[in-house]
């Protein structure tokens, strides 16, 4: 496990240990930052589309 992965694991463990109200406030705080909100939305789209078939870059650029 790399350093970044270990750090992320520590953060998610701490987040899961919080009471629900604190989790909600933390997520609301993240959503108020435009850059972080954009990152979260990008990650949500990636997760939703993970099972879709991929296309070669040349094919995409040709469209």
Does the predicted TM-score (pTM) go above 0.75?
Answer: no
Number of domains in the chain: 1
| Nearest-angstrom CA–CA distance, 49 and 61 | 19
Whether residue 62 is predicted with pLDDT greater than 90 in this model: the reply is no
Question: Between 20-32 and 34-49, two packed helices, what is the crossing angle to 10 degrees?
Answer: 110
- Residue 10 near residue 17 (C-beta atoms within 8 A): no
Whether residue 63 is predicted with pLDDT greater than 90 in this model: the reply is no
* CB within 8 Å of 9: residues ≥ 6 apart: 1
| Per-residue model confidence as pLDDT tens digits over 7-50 | 999 999 999 999 999 999 999 998 999 999 999 999 999 999 99
Q: What is the pLDDT of residue 1?
A: 84
Whether residue 60 is predicted with pLDDT greater than 90 in this model: the reply is no
Domain of 30, in residue numbers: 3-62
């Amino acid at each position: 496990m790399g350093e970044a992965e270990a750090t992320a694991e520590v953060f998610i463990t701490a987040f899961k240990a919080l009471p629900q109200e604190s989790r909600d406030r933390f997520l609301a705080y993240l959503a108020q930052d435009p850059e972080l909100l954009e990152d979260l939305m990008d990650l949500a789209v990636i997760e939703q589309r993970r099972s879709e078939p991929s296309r070669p870059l040349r094919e995409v650029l040709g469209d």
